[in-house]
Structure 1
Amino acid sequence: MSPRRRRTEEFTSYYGRPVLKEPTWEALDIAGYIFAGGLAGASSILAAGAQHTGRHRLERAAKLTALTAISASVVALVHDLGRPERFVNMLRVAKPTSPMSVGSWILSVYGPLAGASAAANVLGIFPRAGKAAGIGAGITGSAVATYTAVLVSDTAVPAWHDAHDVMPFVFAGSAAASAGGVAAALAPLAEGGPARRMAIAGAAVETAMSLTMERSGKLSAETFHQGRAGTLLRLSKGFTVGGAVGLALGGRSSRLVSTLSGLSVAAGSALLRFGVFEAGRASTRDPKYVVVPQRERLEQQGRGASDRQGAAAGADSMG
């Protein structure tokens, strides 16, 4: 039995109470907001590429997906905040050191661009302005797809904070997989090549980075394998990998395979976000995920100080 395992099993907090307060957010609000935002941002990137290469039906499908997804994301966020004016109040200041403040401004810029681009495409009005809005939505969409990783990592929730170095890559891959999957399901086969490639590449990044996160060796990474979070993340990998394989093998030749496989990849992306959310919530319930790493850091600092004192004493004696 490892020293870390012995210590975590023996550890208890004051009256067994959690050190951190468990987040009171609803999974459908926050995990849904994160998933829909990623889907929207990556869809705008795909739409900008389709617009540039003349794939008009893929462009329309991606632009409508982006508008629908960002609308759902904002609704989920506002529902969590309780009152719409609370979102507006966040725009009263711009604080670069606050991920929430920066994210609010990103959404406020991206949303109108995605809406204008989709409206111009569907209604056939102001084509030049619509294309310019599409490019703007594609640029800001990259931030929309990933800033939520910084948002959740910049908290005291152990599972999220400990994964801060890899979470942006997990969310970026997941966003690309979902956008490519939905577009592959909606666009005609002749134009769906970029969507299929985006879904497959995104699924590969999502799977590789999520495995890196789950196998980091950090104590809080246990929560990615246990309970509801573990179930959701295992299902996520099944849907994502299965859908990506389907797109790679039969997505080009079969409309049914392209649709089912694309939706499978998108479902895997959604399950990933909900799994990460549940792992974070679980990591706040057990105080060991907070206290044990703190004690280990203090011990390392103490050993470092002792080593420095010993080296200084040795140098004095030699002198």
Structure 2
Amino acid sequence: MSFDDDPGRGGGDPADDRFSTLGGTRQTRTRLPESTGDPYGSTRRPQRGSRSLVMVVGVVVLLVAAIAFANRGSDSGSSPDGQSPKKPDAQSTAASGTKPVGGKQGGIASGYAHDEQGAQSAASNYAVVLGSEGMFKSSTRADIVRATHDPAVVDGLLSRLDQAYTPSFFKNVGLNDDGSTPSGLTFVSRTVPVGTKVAQQDGASATVEAWCTGLVGLAGPGSTKPVTQTWFTITEKLKWVGGDWKITSSSQTQGPTPVSGDDRASTADEIAKAVQGYGGFTYAR
């Protein structure tokens, strides 16, 4: 409802409208009696809109919250019964502090800890490299698969991938038939883990879910496949092989997907410069 549509703000006398409100808050209008002894003449008191009332209430709430926080901060740290209060469990979001990897294999992080945290770190970094531009090139795809997967499944997986990365597939993402990038454009394929969760873990195996967002497309003038963002969850089944976590199988589902913000979409040139200028990370749980 527009400001002029409020009862009493259009034509007519507001006092004649028994449903008259201030700013949609349904506050009753009250006409104050005029003073007879005012040397400056009789005037009406200005009405305070609901917006001012909301602002006052908001400030009061903030002050109360600040006072409560200050009092809590000055507490000695013990509860009324004399026992220390239980701290909130932040395991789902806090970093473990454990070193994520001990080395690299073919430029890919390796040497993860043989525990739950190591499995999550492995799943995150494997999701990143398996979603990179290197998977679209046969020369680097084999190296990536061998560095991230159980040797027992590598040959079969590579055979299936070679059948999947066809000229028609490359065309769907805007690449040339051989998977190369068209002249004057920058191919973007990045996976960014947002969080991980262990669904199962024992001494020899683990199943880890990695919630990710991804960027894929072509940046540059004349691109018919602009870079877009996706959200998905990768489930990786890991096995402890040769002193490290390796993937035995994986699957992917869409989402969870948040509501898009109001950010202005960058130009193709800005995206290309960002991809070329900003490197990735080694992820740790």
TM-score under structure 1 length normalisation: 0.28
More contact order relative to length (CA 8 Å, sep ≥ 6): 1
**Structure of greater Rg:** 2
| Structure with more helix by fraction | 1
